[in-house]
Amino acid sequence: MTLAMLLAADDPTSLIEWLTDSATRVRSGSIPEQAWTTVWHAMAALAVVVATMVPLAVVLAHHRKAELVSTWLVNIGRAVPTVTVVGLLVIVSLRNGLGFEPWPILIALVLLALPPVFTNTYTGVRGVDPGAVDAARAMGLSTTGVMTRVELPLALPLILGGVRTAAVQLLATEPIAAFFGGTGLGLYLYLGLAEDDVYQVQAGAVLVCAVALTADLLLALLSRVLVPRGLRIGAARPGDASRSRRRPDAPPAAATAAAS
């Protein structure tokens, strides 16, 4: 590398230049690499949570077994700051020789995604019209059949809402890992703030936002595709008309959890 390149590397003159000139990122890694780290951490955590919590919540909600737990989960999740969880988990991981990454951040993200996914699934199944369940039973469906073919599809809008909230939260929180010895898109923010490098901070912020908003959009599209037309949130249902006359359409309270 020539001296001129090094000088240029230390001193980009605009955000665009920072984003396009890879020589400026010798110390903090390439953009696709860091973006991929952030995205796979979030996707892995979300996959684990969806694979375990959705079935669990459906079964528990079918038997009405965890009425308090579902509200407690959200409240506890809100009160315990993620910084705390990530920080303490990193210490535990270091002490057990597991390093800065990826275990602490993965576990923290799993814990973070639990409340919205569990509670939304639970609330969704809980809110299924009992008439539909009775009808399914009368038609001879087994308990498993009722859960997988009636309750799950009917609760799908809320479940996907929870998954979407969780995904955005995960992608918004993953960058914290960089402040506790990890990598990912947060590294640009961490190094930029530490070195007073305005463009690096701005670039990191723009990239983190872009990833989170893209995920939000993709999951919105996914729920458009997956949810049957008659079930969309806001779709008129018989019986709703009298209740909603003076009430603007507000999404169910469970659909949003803490920002991070």
Partner 1 sequence: MTRRRIVLALVACVVGVGAVAAWQRIQDLSLETQATNPIVRWEWVFLREDTPAELWEATLQHLQLTLMAVGIGFVLASVLAAVALRFRWTFPPITAFTGFLYTVPSVALFGILVTYYSNTEAALIALVSYTLLILVRNIVAGIAGVPRAVVDAADGLGMSRVRRLLTVELPLAVPVIVAGLRVATVTTVGLVGITAIIQLGGLGSLIFEGFNSQYYTKMVVGSALSVGLAVALDLLFSRAEIALTPWARRRAS
Interface contacts to partner 1, rule CB under 8 A: 75, 78-84, 87-88, 90-91, 95, 168, 171-173, 175-176, 179-180, 186, 189-190, 192-193, 198, 201-202, 204-206, 208-209, 212-213, 216, 245-248, 250, 256, 258-260
Q: Distance (Å, rounded) from C-alpha 6 to C-alpha 222?
A: 45
With respect to partner 1, which residue has the nearer C-beta, 102 or 136? 102
First to last CA, the chain: 40
**Residue 53 or 170 with smaller CB distance to partner 1:** 170
Q: Please, what's the b/e burial string for 159-169 (b: 16 or more CB within 10 A of its CB; e: otherwise)?
A: bbbbbbbbbbb
Q: How far is the CB of 5 from partner 1 (least distance, A)?
A: 25
On whether the CB atoms of residues 38 and 186 are closer than 8 A, the answer is yes
Instruction: State how far the Cα of 26 lies from the Cα of 48, in Å rounded to an integer.
Output: 34
User: Which of 29, 55 has the CB closer to partner 1?
Assistant: 29
- Give the whole-angstrom CA distance, residue 194 versus residue 69: 41
Minimum distance of partner 1 from residue 229's CB (angstroms): 20
* Burial of 157: CB neighbours in 10 Å, binned 0-12, 13-18, 19+: buried
User: Residues 113, 116, 121, 122: what is their CA dihedral angle, to the nearest 10 degrees?
Assistant: 120
CA neighbours closer than 13 Å in the CB half-sphere of residue 55: 5
Nearest-approach distance from CB 246 to partner 1, in angstroms: 5
Q: What is the DSSP letter of 151?
A: I
Considering the complex, what minimum distance in angstroms separates the CB of residue 238 from partner 1?
20
Q: Is 31 helix (H, G, I), strand (E, B) or coil?
A: helix
> How far is CA 36 from each of CA 46, 55, 173, 183, rounded to the nearest angstrom?
15, 28, 15, 10
| Entry field: residues in the chain | 260
Minimum CB distance to partner 1 smaller for 235 or for 259: 259
2 or 96: CB nearest partner 1: 96
Closer to partner 1 by Cβ: residue 124 or 204: 204
> Least Å distance between CB 82 and partner 1?
7
Minimum distance from residue 90 beta carbon to partner 1 (Å): 7
As measured in angstroms, the least distance from the Cβ of 142 to partner 1 is: 39
Nearer to partner 1, 154 or 167 (CB): 167
